[in-house]
Amino acid sequence: MRSPELSVVIPVYNERETLPELIERCLAACRTTGRSFELILVDDGSRDGSRELIGQAASRHNEVFGVILNRNYGQHAAVFAGLEQSKGSMVITLDADLQNPPEEIPRLVAEMAKGVDVVGTVRENRQDSFFRKSASALINHLVRKTTGVMMHDYGCMLRGYSRSVVNAMLQCRESSTFIPILANGFAASTAEIPVKHAPRETGKSKYSVFKLISLQFDLLTSMSTYPLRLLSFTGALVAASGIGFGIFLMVLRFLYGARWAAEGVFTLFAILFVFIGAQFIGLGLLGEYIGRIYNDVRGRPRYFIQDIYGKEKQGNDG
């Protein structure tokens, strides 16, 4: 069977309320491109009946099929499962919550038709909390400074990738990855377009504060060793400051006597606590890298595919 020109990969986790509308709108949007396509719905261990809805959609529509993971592995692992099953020369990823309208798909296809390897998007009038928008702005700034790739919204899942970039990403076996940054590392050309962003009308975000923090660690540690270099620089700066302050205290002791020095004991304790805190932060950051090395050395698969609904695909694990 001839491979489709376009693949749309959507990770799904407990999105029963949005799935029927999502599927219909995605099918309609893909048909307007005039290209052959496939809609890949990856169930990431849903417990609300999303799996059954995916199966029903796959039986009704030839363009739809489902990839069923045996448990919840996380959004990026689910996207990788979909990427591995995709066959299109263009691949678009999309969230299932309908905050990024599927009607934007043709615009990404048109941009990729110009020969662009990676098409990023920027959410206009973003419908998220102040905390999420502020944290996202900070992380995006750090990513731009570190990678040198001037994209402005790495947190938006609505993105387009060429087949060559997808194939390159699939050869990477590290456990902790942040797909948009990984893709940019293999792209010969990138582009960015503004897209609409809608408020979530049903359900709730699957990202708790803890998961958001974990995602930011994945983002920071997956793209480079810059945080480690920054840690070394900070450690050297703190050490130099400590030596300088010690010399300063010694001079004051000789000028004003031992009595003055005794009165500065609590100040020294406060400074000591700052240094200890900095050391623990450094150890924690080192631990993040070592933990990721440990996971990668074990070489366990990112996910395990339990079942596939719809068209027959090769492979059952990643």
More confident residue, 86 or 228: 86
pLDDT at res. 313: 45
Tell me what the mean pLDDT of segment 75-86 comes to: 92
- What's the mean per-residue pLDDT of the chain? 79
**pLDDT tens-digit series, residues 186-215:** 989 989 999 888 876 665 655 555 655 665
Three-class SS state of 272: helix
Q: DSSP per residue over 34-46, as a string?
A: TS-EEEEEEE-S-
Residues 6+ apart with CB under 8 A from 218: 76, 176, 177, 178
For the cut 50, the answer to whether the pLDDT of residue 315 exceeds it is no
For the cut 90, the answer to whether the pLDDT of residue 155 exceeds it is no
pLDDT at res. 317: 47
Confidence of residue 105 (pLDDT cuts 50, 70, 90): very high
9 backbone dihedrals φ, ψ, rounded to 5°: -110, 125
For the cut 80, the answer to whether the pLDDT of residue 257 exceeds it is no
| 77 contacts 295 by C-beta, under 8 angstroms | no
Q: How many CA atoms lie within 13 A of 290 on its CB side?
A: 6
* DSSP-based helix, strand, coil % in the chain, nearest 5: 50, 15, 35
For the cut 90, the answer to whether the pLDDT of residue 275 exceeds it is no
Confidence of residue 122 (pLDDT cuts 50, 70, 90): confident
Reported pTM: 0.72
Q: Round to whole Å and give the CA distance between 179 and 190.
A: 14
74 backbone φψ class: left, alpha, beta (φ>0; ψ -120 to 50): left
